[in-house]
């Protein structure tokens, strides 16, 4: 068993280089280094509010004042965050043609900000909003401006329908991105899991679609025993070191 950190970095880099097709699967742990608390830890968002009320479709539609005083505050907070070394490293692997894309549980937009081009955002995103009546899309800033003017719930300028964020809330169906991600993994050899506890369904089943698995997470996951390599380290530093080793091996 490989125990030395530097040796594991070298093996991870070689796995990525030799893989015919690789994807990353990211969770909240990759974004904590950008100042975003995760949702379930002792310091996470859900310790301050009930998630079923905070980010619920039912509450959004039936009790919008509560939604915009709780769940919306989380979404608004995410828009001001910046990507960290982990996001940047994955975008670099994609640029080097060694990563086919990113599947993310996160709604913080940080992969897009870091330069990742191929993303499957299986829990949605907070860049945009849409009307639940006519489907017209707007930038998130439109919702922010309306809420600041105390227009609750915000209404569509086109038809007067209710606007909602492009996030998957409790009570929503999984988006098309999830099925697209599953289809991608059916032909993927290596999955790099970063910052996910792999305890939230149905995303926690995705590692079972691949033959090779690297897990980078600060705490153990249920899939650690099935992984080729496991790093219980900070995501940013680990991914940065892997990219550096990839470049060293390839003489870049």
Q: Domains in the chain, start-ordered, CATH in brackets?
A: 1-36+83-123+174-252 (3.40.50.1220), 39-80+124-167 (3.30.1600.10)
Instruction: Evaluate if pTM is beyond 0.85.
Output: yes
Taking only the tens place, the pLDDT of each residue in 140-181 is 999 999 999 999 999 999 999 999 999 999 889 999 999 999
**DSSP run (H or E) holding 31:** none
pLDDT band at 210 (very low <50, low <70, confident <90, very high): very high
Catalytic residue among 111, 123, 130, 232: 123
Q: How far is CA 19 from CA 2, 25, 92, 227, in A?
A: 20, 16, 16, 15
Burial code (b: 16+ CB inside 10 Å, e: under 16) for 138-160 equals bebebbbebbeeeeebbebeeee
Q: How far is CA 29 from CA 22, 78, 168, 183, 208, in A?
A: 20, 14, 19, 25, 20
d(CA 192, CA 122) in angstroms, rounded, equals 16
Taking only the tens place, the pLDDT of each residue in 8-19 is 999 999 999 999
Catalytic: 123? yes
Q: Is 156 annotated among the ligand-binding residues?
A: yes
The confidence score (pLDDT) of residue 89 equals 98
**Bridge partners of residue 194, in order along the sequence:** 26, 216
Q: Is 131 annotated among the ligand-binding residues?
A: yes
Nearest to 81 by CA among 61, 41, 111: 111
Taking only the tens place, the pLDDT of each residue in 74-126 is 888 888 899 999 999 999 999 999 999 999 999 999 999 999 999 999 999 99
Contact present, 124 and 167 (Cβ < 8 Å) = yes
Q: What DSSP designation does 55 have?
A: T
Q: Is 159 annotated among the ligand-binding residues?
A: yes
């Amino acid at each position: 068993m490989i125990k030395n950190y530097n040796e594991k970095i070298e093996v991870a880099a070689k796995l990525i280089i030799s893989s015919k097709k690789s994807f990353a699967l990211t969770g909240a742990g990759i974004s904590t280094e950008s100042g975003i608390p995760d949702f379930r830890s002792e310091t996470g968002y859900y310790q301050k509010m009930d998630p079923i009320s905070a980010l619920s479709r039912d509450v959004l539609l039936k009790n919008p004042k509560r939604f915009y005083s709780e769940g919306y505050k989380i979404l608004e907070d995410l828009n001001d965050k910046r990507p960290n070394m982990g996001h940047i490293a994955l975008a670099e692997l994609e640029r080097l043609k060694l990563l086919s894309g990113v599947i993310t549980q996160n709604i913080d937009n940080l992969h897009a900000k870091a330069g990742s081009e191929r993303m499957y955002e299986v829990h949605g995103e907070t860049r945009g909003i849409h009307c639940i009546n006519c489907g017209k899309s707007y930038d998130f800033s439109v919702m922010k401006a309306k809420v600041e003017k105390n227009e609750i719930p915000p209404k569509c300028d086109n038809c007067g329908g209710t606007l909602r964020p492009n996030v998957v809330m409790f009570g929503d169906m999984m988006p098309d991105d999830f099925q697209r991600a599953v289809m991608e993994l059916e032909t993927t050899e290596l999955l790099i899991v970063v910052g996910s506890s792999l305890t939230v369904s149905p995303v926690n089943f995705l590692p079972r679609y691949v033959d090779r698995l690297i897990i980078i997470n600060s705490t153990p996951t249920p899939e650690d025993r099935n992984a080729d390599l496991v790093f219980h380290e900070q995501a940013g530093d680990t991914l940065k070191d892997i990219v550096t080793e990839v470049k060293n091996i390839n003489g870049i």
